[in-house]
Amino acid sequence: MYIIGGIVFICGLSLGVLSRRESVERDGNRLLLPFRKMALYIYKKLCIRSKQFFSSAQVERDLHCLYPEEGKERLTARYYVNKLSISLAVLFLGTLFGMLVRYNSQKELLLDEEGAISRGNYREGSVKVGLKTDYGEGESGSFQIEVAPRRLTEEEALVLSEELWNRLPEYILGQNESPDRVFCDLALEESYGDYPFLLEWTSRNPAVVGSTGRVYPVEEAVPVEMAVRMTYGELVREEKLMLTVMPVPLSAAEQEYAELENLLLQSEYESRGEEVWRLPGQWHGKTVSWQQETEDYSVVLWGVAVVAAVSVYAMSDQDLHRQQEQRKKRMQSDYPEIIHKLSLYISAGMTIRGAFQKIAGDCGQKKGKEDLHPAYTEMRYACRELHSGVSEASVYEHFGKRTGLQEYIRLSTLLAQNLKKGNGTLAERLREETGRVWEERLQSCKRLGEEAGTKLLVPMVLMLLVVMVMIMIPAFSAM
C-alpha cells in the first residue's frame, strides 16, 4: 500500500509538471474540466476575501515575461485556477485510491456480526485470521489464529485417498533443544515440502501438547506421548515419540493471555466438523467480544494524496520561474544571431525598421519552434506595436524592457538613440557589438565545457573504483 501511495505521489507531481505549461497556454484537458470549475469557484471566493493568497509579485513578473501578449489579470487568474485544479485532481485521486483500499480491506473480513467465521473447503487450505478482543474492564488482546478448512467426511477422504500421501518429518522440535526438554511449540505440520503425504498427529495428553503442536504451560515436567499416523491410499503407518514438557515461568498478564489463546485454539479445534466456527463469548465469567484485525492503509494513502496536492501547488511557482530562466537562456543564445543579421542588413542599406521587421519575419520560418526562439517572438510582438501606431523609439525601448536582459536593453538603447540623434556610425557599432558578442559566446562555451568536465569526474572516479575492486578481489582470492 505504501508503494501505491508513492506511485500516486509521483504521478501527481508528474501530472502537475506536464500540465502546468500547457494549461497556461490553452484552456484544454477535458479530464480536468470538473476540477477547473471547482477551482474557479474557490478562486473567486478566496480572491475577493483574501487577495494575498493568490498574489505573488515574482509569479506576475514571470507570467508577463513569458506571455506578454495576454492581459495581466486574465493570465494570473488562469494560472492560479489551473494550479488549484491540478491540486484538487491529485487530492481526488488519492481519496479515490484510499476508498478502494478501504473497500478491499473490508472484503477480507471473515468474521460476521454474530461472531462466526465461515470455513473454506479443503482446496482453499487454512486461513490465518487476526482477531482482537475486549474482555473484562479495559482489558484487550490480539491473536493470530489459523482457521483450518472443514474436515472431510469419510467418503470424501476415500475419494481423495489416491492424491494424498504423507511423510514423517525428520525434525519436529522447532526451537526446542531436545525431546526431553520441550518449552515452546512443536513444528507439527500436515505435510512437508512437495511430498503428497498426509500426516495426522495425536497427543495422548492434549491438555499439555495439542495436536497442532501447541505446547501449553505446565507447573512441572510432564511426559507426553505423541502418535503420528501416515496415510496414503491403503498404506497406514504409525510411530510414537516420547516428549517431556518443561514448565516456563509466566507473568500474570502472560498467563491470562496464554489461557485465552488456549481457549480460542481449543474452540477452533472442536468446531472443525462444523460449517462455521463460533468464537467463545464468555471467559471466567467475563463477556468477550471479538473483532477481526485487517490492514487498512486508506488513511495513510489519503495523507500521501494531501501531501502530493500541496506539493504540486507549491512547486507550480518554482516551475514557472524555471521556465522564465530557461526562456532567458534561449534569448541569450539567439542574441548573437540577431545582432549579426541586424548588422548585415543595415550595412546592406536597409533602414532600422526594415531590418528589424525582416529579422522578426524569420520567426515565421520557425513554425512549431516559437518556444525555442522566444527572442523572435518578442520582435514579432514589437512589429505589431509598430503597425498599431506606436512610435519606433518607444517600440525599441519596450522591446528591451520586456526581455529583461542587458544585451537586448543595450541594443534597444542603441537603436533608439540612432533614431533621435541620427548617429551615422550605427553599422560600425553593430559590427563591434557582433564581434564582442561572439567572443563572449566563445568564452561561455569554454566555461560550459569545463563545467561538464568537472561533472564527469565523479562517474569517472566511481568507474575507477569498480575497476580496482574487480582487479583486487581475484588477486586477494588467489593469495
pLDDT digits (tens, 9 = 90+) for 220-248: 888 988 887 766 545 566 777 788 888 87
Report phi then psi at 193, rounded to 5: 65, -145
Q: Count the residues in the chain.
A: 479
Same domain? 157 vs 260: yes
- Please check whether residue 280 lies inside any domain of the structure: no
* 311 and 332 inside one domain: no
> For 154, phi and psi rounded to 5 degrees?
-65, -40
Whether 346 and 234 map to the same domain: the answer is: no
Contacts of 278 (CB under 8 A, 6+ apart): 114, 115, 116, 267, 271
Number of domains in the chain: 3
Q: First CA to last CA across the chain, in angstroms? A: 49
**Same domain as 57, residue 33:** yes
Adjacency order of strands within the sheet including 235-245: 198-203, 222-232, 235-245
CB 155 within 8 A of CB 165: no
Residue with grid cell 543595450, as numbered in its chain: 410
Host domain of residue 429: 325-460
134 inside domain: no
3-state class of 93 per DSSP?
helix
Output the pLDDT for position 8: 46
pLDDT per residue over 382-426, tens digit each?
Answer: 888 888 888 888 888 888 888 888 888 888 888 888 887 665 677
Residues 6+ apart with CB under 8 A from 89: 12, 15, 31, 32, 35
Q: Which three cell numbers stand for residue 136?
A: 473484562
Co-location of 238 and 188 in the same domain:
yes
Q: 273 is written with which cell numbers?
A: 466438523
User: What's the rounded Cα separation, in Å, for the pair 10 and 16?
Assistant: 10
Kindly state the percentage of the chain with pLDDT values over 70: 77
Among 6-10, 361-365, 437-441, top mean pLDDT goes to: 437-441
